[in-house]
Amino acid sequence: MEPNYNPQTMGEEFMSKLEFQWLEVGKEIPAGTLFGPIKIPTTEQTTEISALYSAKEDLTFALFCFKEAIKHDIPKVSNPISKALINAGTLSYARVFSRGVHKFKITEEYFSNLWDIEDSDLHKYLSSLRDKHIAHSVNDFERAEALGVVTISNDLRLLSTNPCGVGVVLTVSIGLPFVWLKQCPMLMEKMITFIDGKINALRIEIYKQFHPTLKVGDKVEIHPFIQIANRDKIEKRRND
């Protein structure tokens, strides 16, 4: 029987994955024993670690985009692949600081002890690039102006009204100097390593919070680890 594909949604994919780490080990798990995720109380630490996992996902994608963009050498408007990679990487990086789905908001201050002056300058540039150039066109770097086209003499006098045409002056740009593009992967890798350290520390804190409440024999509430997004709400702003 042929699979029933919906041509209107083919190519649109939602993925849910489970990541975890054992913190108490020593006892062997007998073959055939079930294990699974359980619901735990929401705390400041669980809220922060959730936001950090999402941020790491965005930074990992941004890192990939910037590395691939570097392979295309100096960015050029004539190279749409280079522009697409830079735009995608910049947007994914900016999501780390602008996402509204988590109650824990990651700000520039979160990395204040990690970044040097060059890192801070690059962050400001990428943020402005996203806000003023990629997501919104509020500058002179990308614009279009309509104009007329006629035949003229050397002293700029109109020679005839036929032929006569209409055109547009289109200005486009790629928006990221190569010297800064080459710094982007280093910034992403530094931030991912920092976030991994934070996650490891938070994981231990969360373990200490909920582990004492566990009692052998009690029934536990399973937390769903396959979560399907409701695509009917794809045009609406995400809420908790």
In a domain? residue 33? no
Closest C-alpha to 163, from 149, 178, 144 = 149
Looking at residue 49, its amino acid is I
Query: What's the pLDDT score for residue 134?
Result: 78
Considering the entire predicted model, what is its pTM?
A: 0.82
Answer for the pair 90, 130: CB distance below 8 angstroms, yes or no.
yes
Residue 110 structural domain:
44-139+175-233
If you average pLDDT over residues 25-38, what whole number do you get?
85
Answer for the pair 176, 86: CB distance below 8 angstroms, yes or no.
yes
In a domain? residue 66? yes
Count how many domains the chain has.
Answer: 1
Higher pLDDT, residue 16 or 81: 81
Query: What's the pLDDT score for residue 2?
Result: 56
pLDDT digits (tens, 9 = 90+) for 155-203: 988 998 899 999 998 777 767 889 999 999 999 999 999 999 999 999 9
In a domain? residue 162? no
Task: Give the pLDDT band of residue 236 (cuts 50, 70, 90).
Answer: low
In a domain? residue 50? yes
Backbone angles phi, psi at 28, to 5 degrees: -75, 140
Backbone angles phi, psi at 222, to 5 degrees: -75, 135
Query: What's the pLDDT score for residue 169?
Result: 85
